[in-house]
């Protein structure tokens, strides 16, 4: 555990803190005493770094339920959780709009509330698999940087309609209230999405401004008091601790859109400029059980995991297959639990293994034409690793 938790985190750990106007329900920080003693914010995760907080759950825990409990929902933060005074908190909407807005949470909650279930996943999920070829920097994620939650909040499109978007608007920038130390100074986390995505309304809005996760107020780790959730896009576009929205004719100049979160071979200016920002995530999946290197007797073995179909509207998992012979032959897996747009699909399979079986492989396809390929070219930041998932086992 890191020794430098900020004051608020320590107070939360000590029993909950009334933050001027909003009481945190401490129960949401982990129900069982064991997980609370491990982490002051009640997370039951494997922390890859503790300052800032970056952690993923054990895969066997992760696939136990279609909705990921907050304590098992991965955290990816570039700086410590900011301390936000709810009384002072305002969301501003500016730029290419007829009527700039400054909204407190009460004003925001006058908007129609919307609920969606959507999966969030980090572009760096499964990054460590790139290390087989050459080590990549960044948080060393295995396959747990993913989670599926019920989000409640307000459609970005409704807020933008209220502000009145001008004709030449092309991108919507989001800016967080966190402070990230970079070589050129302190910056907030930010990014943008295309205006077309931002203006999607209806039951599955293109983007939401969210204040609740799984029925409770967002926790500090997940962006309290307000964040964006952009179904279908990599997690980096879902900006936590949201403070500012700017409507522009340009993409956001923020480092995390303009430079980071791109597929590059080298981290040099030519590659950065040649490569566009990643928005939508591709299909991906993992085998969650058995454990890697598990010793299993020859015969039938139960396998389970998740597959996330590519982040296109309407895309669903089409086929999930397991191979016990290195990809020569494939056996079907069965989907379990719910199936929903922009959500992962859990699955189970029973496959036959022999002493010759060295590994189990997973591959999948979706209705948008997405497929997990046998290999993915190495990239310097280790993003979008979605090759066949390989789980080494030892058959006795």
Q: φ, ψ for residue 193 (rounded to 5)?
A: -130, 155
Toward ligand MTE, which CB reaches closer, 239 or 287? 239
Nearest approach, Cβ of residue 175 and ligand MTE (Å): 8
Considering only 74-82, 265-273, 323-331, 377-385, which stretch makes contact with ligand MTE by CB under 6 A? 74-82
Q: Within positions 326 to 345, which residues make up the interface with ligand MTE, using CB under 6 A?
A: none
Taking CB under 6 A as the rule, does residue 189 contact ligand MTE?
Answer: yes
Site for ligand MTE (CB under 6 A): how many residues? Answer: 18
> Per-residue x/- mask for ligand MTE, residues 191 to 230, rule CB under 6 A?
-------------------------------x--------
Considering only 68-76, 128-136, 164-172, 204-212, which stretch makes contact with ligand MTE by CB under 6 A? 68-76
Buried b (16+ CB within 10 A) or exposed e, 52-78: bbbbbbbbebbbeebbbbbbbbbbbbb
Long-range contacts: 43-51, Cβ < 8 Å, 24+? 43/71, 43/75, 43/221, 44/71, 44/72, 45/71, 45/72, 45/74, 45/75, 46/144, 48/139, 48/140, 48/141, 49/139, 50/1, 50/2, 51/2, 51/4, 51/80
Identify the residue whose tokens are 């139960």. Answer: 302
Bridge partners of 330? none
> Per-residue x/- mask for ligand MTE, residues 147 to 186, rule CB under 6 A?
-----------------------------x-x--------
Taking CB under 6 A as the rule, does residue 126 contact ligand MTE?
Answer: no
Toward ligand MTE, which CB reaches closer, 264 or 303? 264
Toward ligand MTE, which CB reaches closer, 78 or 312? 78
Token pair recorded at residue 211: 């204040």
**Is 198 within 8 Å of 172 (Cβ atoms)?**
yes
Among 36, 238, 284, 386, binds ligand MTE (CB under 6 A): 238
Taking CB under 6 A as the rule, does residue 243 contact ligand MTE?
Answer: no
Taking CB under 6 A as the rule, does residue 117 contact ligand MTE?
Answer: no
Token pair recorded at residue 261: 């979160």
> Per-residue x/- mask for ligand MTE, residues 7 to 46, rule CB under 6 A?
----------------------------------------
Taking CB under 6 A as the rule, does residue 385 contact ligand MTE?
Answer: no
Among 29, 241, 330, 342, binds ligand MTE (CB under 6 A): 241
Q: Which residues bind ligand MTE (CB under 6 A)?
A: 73-78, 120, 122, 176, 178, 189, 222, 235-236, 238-241
């Amino acid at each position: 555990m890191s020794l430098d938790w900020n004051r608020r985190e320590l107070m939360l750990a000590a029993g909950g803190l009334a933050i001027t106007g909003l009481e945190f329900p401490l129960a949401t920080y982990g129900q069982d005493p064991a997980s609370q003693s491990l982490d002051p914010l009640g997370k039951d995760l494997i922390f890859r770094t503790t300052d800032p907080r970056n952690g993923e759950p054990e895969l066997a825990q992760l696939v136990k339920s279609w909705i990921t409990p907050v304590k098992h929902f991965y955290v990816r933060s570039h700086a410590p959780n900011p301390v936000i005074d709810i009384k002072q908190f305002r969301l501003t909407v500016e730029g290419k709009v007829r009527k700039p807005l400054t909204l407190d949470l009460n004003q925001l909650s006058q908007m129609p509330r919307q609920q969606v279930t959507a999966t969030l996943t980090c572009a760096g999920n499964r990054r460590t698999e790139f290390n087989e070829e050459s080590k990549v920097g960044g948080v060393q994620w295995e396959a747990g940087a993913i989670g599926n939650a019920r989000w409640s909040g307000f459609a970005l499109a409704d807020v933008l309609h209220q502000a009145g978007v001008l004709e030449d608007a092309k991108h919507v920038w989001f800016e967080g209230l966190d402070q990230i130390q970079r070589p050129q100074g302190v910056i907030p986390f930010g990014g943008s999405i295309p205006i077309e995505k931002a203006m999607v309304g209806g039951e599955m809005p293109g983007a939401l401004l969210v204040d609740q996760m799984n029925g409770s107020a967002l926790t500090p780790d997940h962006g309290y008091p307000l964040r964006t959730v952009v179904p279908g896009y990599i997690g980096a576009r879902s900006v936590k601790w949201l403070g500012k929205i700017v409507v522009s004719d340009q993409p956001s100049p923020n480092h995390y859109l303009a430079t980071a979160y791109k597929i590059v071979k080298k981290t040099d200016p030519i590659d950065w400029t040649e490569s566009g920002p990643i928005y939508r995530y591709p299909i991906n999946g993992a085998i969650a059980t058995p454990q890697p290197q598990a010793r299993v007797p020859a015969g039938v073995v139960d396998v389970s995991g998740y597959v996330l179909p590519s982040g296109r509207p309407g895309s669903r998992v089409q086929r999930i297959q397991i191979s016990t012979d290195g990809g020569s032959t494939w056996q079907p897996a069965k989907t379990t639990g719910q199936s929903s747009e922009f959500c992962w699909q859990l699955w189970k399979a029973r496959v036959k293994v022999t002493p010759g079986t060295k590994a189990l492989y997973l591959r999948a396809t979706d209705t948008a034409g997405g497929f997990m390929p046998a290999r993915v070219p190495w990239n310097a930041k280790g993003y979008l690793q979605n090759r066949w998932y390989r789980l080494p086992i030892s058959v006795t």
